[in-house]
Structure 1
Amino acid sequence: MSENPAFGAAVEDLSQAFERRTSLCRPFLRVLPVHGAAVSTLGAPFGSETICASDDTAARLDELQFDLGEGPCWDAMTSRRPVFTADASAADPRWPLFAQAMGESEALSLFAFPLALGSLNIGAVDLYTLGAGTLTTVQVDDAIALSSICARQVLRRSIADQSSTPGEQDQHSDGFSRREVHQATGMVLAQLGVSAADALLIINGYAFARGRTVREVAADIVARRIDFAEEWSDPSETL
């Protein structure tokens, strides 16, 4: 349970960000002792793009990591674990080019949290402080909880922003029945212990990532050719 009285409001704001088209960064700033935040997608299938940045410094941090292909956000996404650095400009064998490029940046401490849903790696949240900073265990837990909600919002936006995704084409085609999709949603719900909304979002994200239709993926789930319990248990396997 968060000790921050602002946490509940931040959860509500972030949970409604897709419908309201509000900032995905602001809830993190309301809850955590950081000066800036950026939310980004990384690599395939969504491309490397900054979804939101609270300021120019946060946007620049993302841009450097995109250009160099290394940095905390990449490590957070691939490891699916938070990644921290107390001094981003100090020599670091993990990101030698990034550390060198950070030499003139105002940001000092960086905190990166993965955005993932099921076995789908989406991107990361980058947070920074201007001086030396740390996060308590409770604050890390708050950031992880907010990142989990943020991942769903980013995925919903990414799918909706596509002018014509395979899933949308399939859902509007003649004779398309939702019965198999409902059945597959129930199976994913049981496999992962998530809500029905999240189960359907996982199916849509899986279809989008692999260039398949929702109907095709649903059929494979019902036929037990796809088991998301196995997908979830092996974070190293990305879509």
Structure 2
Amino acid sequence: MRSPQPSRAQPSRAQPPRAQPNRSTMTDRREFGKAIDSLTGSFERRTSMCQPFVRVLPVDAASVCTLGAPFGSETICASTALAATFDELQFDLGEGPSWDAMTTRRPVLIDDLHSLRHAPWPALQKAARHIDVRAVYAFPLTMGSLDIGAVSLFTQGSQALAPGQIVDAETLAQITAGQVLRRSLASRTLKTNLEDNEGYSRRVVHQATGMVLAQLNLSAADALLIIHGHAFSHGRTVREVAADVVTRRLDFSSILES
């Protein structure tokens, strides 16, 4: 399946030409590998999910947040007070590039928020002038059928991400989605009891994990995470969801296509 094309907002023609990125358009591959490693273990190591983005991309700040049901609107990390404030504005207003990125499952790329004409979020655009945010790039956090939240990247100057940098940001966001989901599930009480009286079957869960793995082309760990996340978001037990997968009442590939 081809990745959706990013949405890039257009600046006003009355504004001066957009500035070019002030860093190399080619991400250092060694540093990028380190960023992937850092993010992959961020939940277990309790390390920042924001810093890897700032280290390898031409941005000044980053934030990671969950949005709406079922995980609630919460900033997981923010590399600066500016990034945290922008997230809070989006939570309060219920709109913004992070919301759009999550609901459309596409990156939302704004090279110059100040000169954006016909902004879909005029209140946010006005408020952003007071916190020194110029460019905003929002990338969705999704896993399977779950819409989790977004990664937002910020610069204080007007600039554009190069195509390769957009791809790198999407790759990092995909890894971040799994880490955020693990954190969100760990911090809440799931409606499940591994020793319930109805006979929790590890065999059923293992079988369902294998089926989800095949449906979505994921690792076994991520496939099991999808099952847990679906159970949490629908107020069900892991066993119930696994049984639906095994009996083919639930097909995650069909949910994604719809």
Determine which of 131, 137, 144 is the counterpart of 2:157.
131
Q: Which residue of 2 aligns with 1:37?
A: 62
Number of residue pairs the alignment of both structures matches: 231
Q: Any idea what SS the aligned residue of 1:171 has?
A: coil
Measure, in 1, the Cα distance between the counterparts of 2:214 and 2:145: 16
Q: Report the Cα distance in structure 2 between the residues aligned to 1:230 and 1:31, rounded to whole angstroms.
A: 35
Match for residue 194 of structure 2?
171
Q: How does 1:24-173 map to 2 (within 5 A)?
A: 24-90=49-115, 91-162=117-188, 164-166=189-191, 169-173=192-196
Amino acid at match of 2:180: V
Residue 132 of structure 2 contacts residue 156 of structure 2 at CA under 8 Å; is this kept in 1?
yes
* Distance in 1, Cα, partners of 2:82 & 2:173: 20
Partner of 1:237: none
| Partner SS for 2:29 | coil
TM normalised by structure 1 equals 0.93
Residue 3 of structure 1: how far off its partner (Å): 5.0
Q: Which runs of 5+ in 1 are unaligned?
A: 235-239
- Contact persistence 1:92–1:99 (CA under 8 A): no
5+ residue gaps, structure 2: 1-25
1:13 to 24, 38, 43: 38
1:163-199, Cα deviation, whole Å (9 max, x unpaired): x211xx3224364221100010011111111111111
Q: Is the 8 A contact 2:28 2:56 kept in 1?
A: no
Could you say which residue in structure 2 is the equivalent of 1:225? Answer: 249
Q: Determine if the alignment matches structure 1 residue 215 to structure 2 residue 236.
A: no
For the 8 Å contact 2:27–2:57, the answer to whether it is kept is no
Contact 2:27 2:56 in 1 (8 A): no
1:103 positional shift:
2.0
SS of the equivalent of 1:170 reads coil
SS of corresponding position for 2:30? coil
The answer (yes or no) to whether the contact 1:28–1:146 under 8 Å persists in 2 is yes
Q: Alignment identity in percent?
A: 57
For the Cα contact (< 8 Å) 1:3–1:138, is it kept in 2? no
Structure whose residues are more often helix by fraction = 1
Q: SS where residue 143 of structure 1 aligns?
A: helix
Please report how far the alpha carbon of residue 206 of structure 1 lies from its aligned counterpart in structure 2 after TM superposition: 0.4
- Does structure 2 retain, via aligned residues, the 8 Å contact 1:155–1:205? yes
1:17-52 Cα distance to aligned partner (Å, 9 max, x none): 010011000110111000000000000000000000
Query: Would the aligned equivalents of 2:50 and 2:63 in 1 still touch at CA under 8 Å?
Result: yes
| 1:180 match | 204
Please say which structure displays the higher CA radius of gyration.
2
Q: Structure 2 length normalisation: TM-score?
A: 0.86
- The equivalent residue for 1:203 is 227
2: CA distance, partners of 1:2 / 1:97: 34
Name the CA distance, whole Å, in 1 between partners of 2:158 and 2:86.
Answer: 17
> How many Å apart are 1:5 and its aligned residue?
2.5
Q: 1:193 aligns with which of 191, 206, 217?
A: 217
